């Protein structure tokens, strides 16, 4: 008689799926920069990356600069060029 622990099997299947999806998310199509490459470029510009969104050929990176200001960068995933940079300046609190 063969006994299969379905709970362990399901957990293993979910772990495998998470690994595959995680790997696919960072892999880049031919001629495009990977998400790791984009993150490295943002970090080299002094950005502490909080979030990365992919939209076809564009990648939007959100994070904070060295002054703790919120920054949003949009990269061309093919060339690595920064297409736009927005900095949200925080208002100082005065009493």
Q: Please report which helix (H) or strand (E) contains residue 48, including its range.
A: strand 48-55
Q: Which long-range contacts (CB under 8 A, 24 or more apart) does 33-38 make?
A: 33/59, 33/75, 33/77, 33/78, 33/80, 35/59, 37/80, 38/75, 38/77, 38/80
Q: Above 60 in pLDDT, residue 8?
A: no
Q: Above 80 in pLDDT, residue 18?
A: no
Query: In the chain, what are the domains?
Result: 30-90 (3.10.450.40)
pTM over 0.75: no
Q: Above 70 in pLDDT, residue 24?
A: no
């Amino acid at each position: 008689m063969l006994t299969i622990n379905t709970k362990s099997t399901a957990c293993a299947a979910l772990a495998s799926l998470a690994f595959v999806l995680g790997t696919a998310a960072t892999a880049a199509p031919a001629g495009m920069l990977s998400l790791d490459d984009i993150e490295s470029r943002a970090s080299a510009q002094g950005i502490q990356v909080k979030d990365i969104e992919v939209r076809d050929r564009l990648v939007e990176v959100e994070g904070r600069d060295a002054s703790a200001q919120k920054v949003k960068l949009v990269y061309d995933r093919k060339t690595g060029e920064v297409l736009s940079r927005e900095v949200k300046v925080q208002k100082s609190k005065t009493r």
